[in-house]
Amino acid sequence: MKFGVVVFPGSNCDHDAYYALKHVLRQPTIFLWHKDHDLRGVDCVVLPGGFSYGDYLRAGAIAKFSPLMREVREFAAGGGLILGICNGFQVLLELGLLPGAMLRNKNLKFLCENVHLRVENAGTRFSNRARRGQVLRIPIAHFDGNYFAPPNEVRELEKNGQVVFRYVDAGGRATAAANVNGSAAGIAGIINREGNVLGMMPHPERASEALLGSEDGRIVFESLIRSGTPLPRRRRTP
Amino acid sequence: MKVRVLVSFKESVLDPQGQTVKNALLTLGYQTVKDVRQGKVFEIELAGVSEAEAARIVPELANKVLANPIIEKFTWQVLKDGKKG
């Protein structure tokens, strides 16, 4: 499965995502420059973490107008797989490819720590290698990760199974303390209704090798690889 | 023509920065402070447009770029030409 990692000025997890996909998961992976107008035949677009355009105005607000975003919108509309991590999630919200917006963390601090996520929907193309209710340990690193959507929108997301990851404690309980940034309903990751665009604040690429302290993030990439690879054809014996 | 656009959070959205500023003011003894909302100010210079055109352009660019309508609202006004007074 061919992955393309978009590079904006100020992206700083682009190389981490590239490394995890290319060298850990051994998938063909390329960088895509935000000023180009060509997705170069990738099967999955990754919008990486970082501070595109220095987070000026609002996180993700300027990246939304990058030339390549025209192709990214078309790719999304055509059912192409898009994974937005951290700043990439913020860009997806600004693009309107996912509902809601990000506010500053409730404690007004930049949070850089390991958190626990519960897989709320294991039926998506980004989570099919997990079990429903499985708890993953994956780090976060953000200032604006306090997910906001109007209450009726949050209810819709819950009802449609669009909440894929939720902040929980190590035991899998969704407590107020475990919801470190104050997100609505403890939301850490959501998917669009069509099931091809997912945004998440935690960094799965930073949890892709035992050396990094956790391999739990691989589940996201492995799920994508599984869903992007056609099932082997069964040969009929006469 | 110079316009000033003020972007702030909608009433329904919690503003933790404004809350922190409010708490600081209360700590300093300004007990009359009821609430603080923090926002952003943009001063934009427009070339060769009438007030009517500005009334079309400014809300458009505020909605498209300056504010995120999901969480923010804006107001705007025309500023008197750069002279002091």
The CATH code of the domain that includes B18 is: 3.30.1280.10
Phi/psi at A234 (nearest 5 deg)? -85, 130
Minimal Cβ distance to A100: which of B14, B17, B70? B70
**Dist. CA A15–CA A7, nearest whole Å:** 9
Task: Look at residues A157, A161, A196, A191 and name the one whose alpha carbon lies nearest to residue A74.
Answer: A196
Helix (H) or strand (E) holding A172: none
What total number of domains does chain A contain? 1
* Cα separation values, A196 from A50, A73, A98, A191, B5, Å: 22, 12, 11, 7, 37
Domain membership flag for residue B85: no
With a CB cutoff of 8 Å and minimum separation 6, the contacts of A213 are A114, A137, A207
The one-digit pLDDT tens for each residue of chain A (238 residues) are 999 999 999 999 999 999 999 999 999 999 999 999 999 999 999 999 999 999 999 999 999 999 999 999 999 999 999 999 999 999 999 999 999 999 999 999 999 999 999 999 999 999 999 999 999 999 999 999 999 999 999 999 999 999 999 999 999 999 999 999 999 999 999 999 999 999 999 999 999 999 999 999 999 999 999 997 655 555 555 5
SS3 A70: helix
Domain membership flag for residue B84: no
pTM of the predicted model as reported, rounded to 2 decimal places: 0.92
List active site positions of A.
86, 203, 205
What total number of domains does chain B contain? 1
Q: Which residues of A fall within a CB distance of 8 Å from B14?
A: 103, 106
| Predicted ipTM of the assembly | 0.83
Domain membership flag for residue A192: yes
Minimal Cβ distance to A103: which of B13, B65, B66? B13
